Structure 1
Amino acid sequence: MTSESILAARIDDFYPVIPAGGVGSRLWPMSRPERPKFLIDLLGTGSTLIQDTVARLEPLGAEVMIVTGARHADAVAEQVPQVPAGNVVAEPSPRDSMAAIALAAAIIEARHGEQIMGSFAADHVIPDGEAFRAVVVTAIQAARTGKVVTIGIEPTEPSSAFGYIQAGEPLADAPGAFAVEAFTEKPDPDTAAAMLAQGGYAWNAGMFVVSTSVLLGHLARLQPMLEAGVRAIAAAWDDPGRDDALAEYWPTLTKIAIDHAIAEPVAAAGGVAMVPGPFSWHDVGDFDSLATLLTPDADGVTRIGRVPAVSAVDSPGLTVIGGSKPLAVVGIADAVVVETDEAILITSRTAAQRVKDVDL
């Protein structure tokens, strides 16, 4: 069965999971602990990142599940009312991506038995939903062979902002998928350039597709206390004992990312596959990357949520977000000015990564 024919209907045993965590500290003051970036209309399109993510995944699977912090659960439920209330899973505290994804897997399996699940971050920008879904279908087919499957993004530059996946030989029993030789943490620019020159590398976007039993089986072997903890919580999730189980087991779960807990060790044993993702993908991590996704107005100024006048004098590449007063910028190239009800930020696109160091 081809990807195109499968896309004509939902895949009944596929459950998309959206981990919605993190603050987006490089996008301060737009993004704040009480208003993380996945809850923001970051591109000025009229929909938030999590709304876009749910809309992108809904055509694929049986049900969408979202795992988010307890403080954000109500806002998430309000923004995506089409997701059943029982599928918005609230974490009492952050325990990193492995605990969130494993809890979702355990709840899905407790409710429905073994299923195929996919984990996709809430804050990525993927303009071509059809191309994305076609790649996910290929990954689902590969996951049916028992592999942990990741989607590798075709690099557009030797970026040091992402980890890399080294692809090996094509898999005979999973058309369109390749064996994963290794994962590489964020390299320096020279190393990234050498990887791209060599070929066979993709960006690691943190997307995983895998059978729930395969994922939890690897976890039982590699992180047994974590697996036992999420199993115990999941067994009580739909019963009155949920709060007691969370209080007992959640604080004991190891804080670890899925890359370190599962992807890297399982890849070393030959258990991970990669499906290339040729679609456009953006991890909007700072104001520089955000500005690349926006179209300047006729005067050369890029605006989001901005009505009052802006004057850019010898200041090409100006990006202005929000604000209620007229603004003038003189003699500063690639400036970024952000105003919210709580704070004002003035920076440049070249210094955008340093916004995370703001202490306010």
Structure 2
Amino acid sequence: MSENDAANGAEALIYPIILSGGAGTRLWPLSRPETPKQFLTLLGPATMMQETVARTTGRAGFAPPLVVSGERHVALVARQIREAGSEPAAIFLEPEGRNTAGAIALAAYWLAGRDAEALMLVMPSDHAIADVESFHRAIAIACPAARSGRLVTFGIRPTHAETGYGYIEVGDAVADVPGVHHVAAFVEKPPLETARDLIGTGRHCWNGGIFLFSARAYIAELERLAPEVADACRAAMSGARDDGAYIRPDAIAFGACPSISIDYAIMEKTGDAVVVPVDMGWSDVGSWEALWTLRDRNGQDSICDGAAIDMDGRGNLVIVDGGPPVGTMGMRDCVIVSTAAGVLVMPRERSADIRALAEAMLKRTDGT
């Protein structure tokens, strides 16, 4: 077992909990409700789902992943995980999306019936991590805190003032766990000037939505702080159908679950929240601008994928995937995406505004 394995010295397995929800709007038209970004090859030959699975596959102390997804993506989830060289321990199919508190609860109640002390490493399926070894060093630091009953979040050391992420204020060090700090505060997504001020303090990290805690600890805080979520998810799992390949929680029971994130339901209220700051080349790839930043670019500082020619341009992201060929002339700092489902043309600086356009286009193309 290498020193970078998170389970170094651990008594019980760590279960990766991979959350695979999302409507697929922020990278429209490449990402769409039927194929959201976690199922796309945006940063290399593997999809983002497969890269997430690969971060723990084959490492000592880690169990096969538990995946929480929806019926719409059932075939994609199973195939992509197996293509990544893993066999999931369970795939939970949400009857409907109810946000992260409920999604995590489904896996927690399943684990509680098998090993309540097992740790849950909660990871979104559509994030990029360039330095996986630094991630595992952070997990190793976090393990003692999680085993003691604390709820650990990983704070991403910021590289710039970002308005698209929430922030975590890093508090005092936890006396008995080196490298772990109390959470002083959670900060909502700020305007630019506030984001600059937060970065300037040196005490704030991005909130990356990655967590480590035991099933027992999560359920205890869920039942104390968000009992409606706990009651609905417990009932949904009690009435779940397990056909050996997929676990389908009871739809009526799960429909009563409030739609609320783990941050609002638990992390911002509990006294057991702690944070491990980490620099691991993280991004949620949440916009075309973010993708342009992460990808290698040509001599014109542009990116061209597929049947695309960017002539006398600079700073452009041009992607052709199933749509008509694209030729540009003299364009600067634009996003042009051509697919069979739609074509997008916009300034890169407007990447954060794509959701409204994508939703309007999806309504029009769906005939609603």
Percentage identity across paired residues of the two chains:
34
Corresponding residue of 1:352: 351
Per the alignment, in what secondary structure is the counterpart of residue 157 of structure 1? Answer: coil
Structure 1: distance between partners of 2:249 and 2:338? 42
Change (3 A) 1:28 1:17: same
**Contact kept in structure 2, 1:3 and 1:138, CA below 8 Å:** no
Structure 2: distance between partners of 1:198 and 1:272? 21
Shift of 1:277: 0.9
Corresponding residue of 1:229: 232
Shift of 1:10: 8.4
**Contact kept in structure 1, 2:122 and 2:211, CA below 8 Å:** yes
**Contact kept in structure 1, 2:8 and 2:140, CA below 8 Å:** no
Structure 1: distance between partners of 2:46 and 2:4? 28
Structure 1: distance between partners of 2:127 and 2:202? 25
Change (3 A) 1:185 1:311: closer
User: What amino acid does structure 2 have at the position aligned with 1:126?
Assistant: I
Shift of 1:105: 0.8
Superposed, 1:85-164 pairs within 5 Å as 87-164=90-167
User: What amino acid does structure 2 have at the position aligned with 1:265?
Assistant: K
Superposed, 1:107-256 pairs within 5 Å as 107-237=110-240, 246-256=250-260
Does residue 316 in structure 1 map to residue 317 in structure 2? Answer: no
Per the alignment, in what secondary structure is the counterpart of residue 114 of structure 1? Answer: coil
Superposed, 1:336-351 pairs within 5 Å as 336-351=335-350
User: What amino acid does structure 1 have at the position aligned with 2:65?
Assistant: V
Structure 2: distance between partners of 1:55 and 1:9? 22
Corresponding residue of 1:275: 276
Structure 1: distance between partners of 2:325 and 2:72? 35
Change (3 A) 1:237 1:162: same
Change (3 A) 1:93 1:238: closer
Shift of 1:30: 0.4
Change (3 A) 1:155 1:86: closer
Corresponding residue of 2:364: none
CA RMSD of aligned residues (A): 2.3
Task: Count the aligned residue pairs.
Answer: 352
**Contact kept in structure 1, 2:300 and 2:314, CA below 8 Å:** no
Shift of 1:326: 4.7
Structure 1: distance between partners of 2:248 and 2:328? 55
Shift of 1:239: 5.2
Residue range with higher mean Cα deviation, 281-290 or 324-333: 324-333
Change (3 A) 1:28 1:172: same
User: What amino acid does structure 1 have at the position aligned with 2:348?
Assistant: R
Per the alignment, in what secondary structure is the counterpart of residue 41 of structure 2? Answer: coil
- Provide, for residues 164-188 of structure 1, a one-character-per-residue CA deviation record: whole Å limited to 9, x for no partner: 1111111111111001111011111
Structure 1: distance between partners of 2:24 and 2:330? 29
**Contact kept in structure 2, 1:73 and 1:89, CA below 8 Å:** no
- Provide, for residues 224-272 of structure 1, a one-character-per-residue CA deviation record: whole Å limited to 9, x for no partner: 12212222333344657x9896133111111100000000001xxx311
Corresponding residue of 1:297: 298
Does residue 257 in structure 1 map to residue 264 in structure 2? Answer: no
- Provide, for residues 58-95 of structure 1, a one-character-per-residue CA deviation record: whole Å limited to 9, x for no partner: 22512211101111122110111144455111101000
Structure 1: distance between partners of 2:247 and 2:278? 39
- Provide, for residues 301-331 of structure 1, a one-character-per-residue CA deviation record: whole Å limited to 9, x for no partner: 3123x1x351423x21121111565533233
**Contact kept in structure 1, 2:6 and 2:143, CA below 8 Å:** no
Change (3 A) 1:140 1:191: same
**Contact kept in structure 1, 2:64 and 2:89, CA below 8 Å:** no
Structure 1: distance between partners of 2:46 and 2:11? 26
Corresponding residue of 2:64: 63
Structure 1: distance between partners of 2:325 and 2:18? 39
Per the alignment, in what secondary structure is the counterpart of residue 354 of structure 2? Answer: helix
Change (3 A) 1:258 1:211: same
Residue range with higher mean Cα deviation, 132-141 or 116-125: 132-141
Corresponding residue of 2:365: none
Per the alignment, in what secondary structure is the counterpart of residue 290 of structure 1? Answer: helix
Structure 2: distance between partners of 1:321 and 1:223? 43
Change (3 A) 1:110 1:316: same
- Provide, for residues 321-360 of structure 1, a one-character-per-residue CA deviation record: whole Å limited to 9, x for no partner: 1156553323321111111111111112111122212212
Shift of 1:7: 5.6
**Contact kept in structure 2, 1:10 and 1:61, CA below 8 Å:** no
Change (3 A) 1:296 1:144: same
Change (3 A) 1:335 1:239: closer
4+ residue runs over 6 A deviation: 8-11
Superposed, 1:2-41 pairs within 5 Å as 4=4, 12-41=12-41
Structure 2 unaligned spans of 5+: 362-368
